[in-house]
Amino acid sequence: MKAPAFSIWSSFDIDLSPEDMVLELEKRGMTVCELSDEHASALLQREGDPEEIGKAFGTFAAKHGVRFPQGHLWLFVRLCDKTQDAVGILTNWIKLFSGIGIRNAVLHCDGHSFPEGTEQETILASNAAVLKKLAPIAEQYGVRICLENLIHNFNDAETLLDLISRVGSSAFGICLDTGHLNIKHPGTQEQFILTAGDKLHAIHIADNEGKSDQHMMPFGKGTVDFASVMKGLSEIGYGDLFNYEIPGERHAPLSVRRAKTEFLKNVTEYLFSLI
């Protein structure tokens, strides 16, 4: 298995503008990154067509040797909330991502917009109905929407595959969040990956102690079994971005974040030595 490209979610540098974040990645010798929803939101606040804004930012990044194959769609969108125009909102995000060159866009499904006690079937059907409306837009702009496993809902690969099947579009895949899985279904990293199979196109590598979403680097006090993660990725031949989502590590001066980046490069080299 060829090692996928090393990446850290751009929210690691949340205090920097999108352009300054790119310049910082260049200084660190990083060539790929997942665009965070905070940096994407900053871009969408600019005047103009979202796709053209994306193209301008993508061109700037390319001049500095940086690409964004993966991005995170708006964290606060609620697909099934009748007070939000989720399809309209996400259409602009998809246009932005397409302009930047983002191929895989991570999305949280909606388990929040329902009264307590709502049956799972109702939640699944409601999400599928909205995602069906998004499907032709994603297909048009060449963006794959990767549904992320969450903690309270949509927390296993089988449910995400069911949802994708209901939508019936090749423009959907899965994002594994190792931290979320460690909280809800500890010890099942390899199983999740094998079940997701060729639908797995995005990863959030994060560690925690199994109780809350701490978003830590591996090999601290967390309990994620990263050996099983690597075994699963090897077995399915995963080739998309190897991305760390670690906002729990970003509350540090820039010089310290640079040192953490070097540590993570060594961690990644070690992880890939296991397979």
Q: Name the residue among 109, 107, 19, 27 with its Cα closest to residue 68.
A: 19
Here the tokens at position 107 are 């999305």
- Reading the block at residue 101, the tokens are 């060159």
Confidence band of 255 (pLDDT split at 50, 70, 90) = very high
The reported pLDDT for the residue numbered 81 is 97
Q: What's residue 267's pLDDT? A: 97
pLDDT at residue number 143: 98
Q: What is the mean pLDDT of residues 191-201?
A: 98
**4 pLDDT above the threshold of 90:** no
pLDDT of residue 2: 67
Q: Is the pLDDT of residue 1 over 70?
A: no
Domains of the chain listed by start with CATH number: 6-273 (3.20.20.150)
- The model carries a pTM of 0.97
4/49 Cα distance (integer angstroms): 32
pLDDT tens-digit map of 203-248: 999 999 999 999 999 999 999 999 999 999 999 999 999 999 999 9
- Alpha helical stretches, state H, the chain: 18-27, 37-44, 50-63, 86-100, 120-141, 157-167, 178-184, 189-196, 226-236, 254-273
- Split at pLDDT 50, 70, 90, the class of 87 is very high
Which pairing describes strands 6-8 and 242-244: parallel, antiparallel, or unpaired?
parallel
In the chain, what is the straight-line distance between the N-terminal and C-terminal CA atoms, in Å? Answer: 8
Longest dimension (CA), the chain: 52
Please state, in angstroms and rounded to a whole number, the distance separating the CA atoms of residues 129 and 146: 16
Say yes or no to pLDDT of 3 above 80: no
Three-state SS sequence of 234-271: HHHCCCCCEEECCHHHCCCCHHHHHHHHHHHHHHHHHH
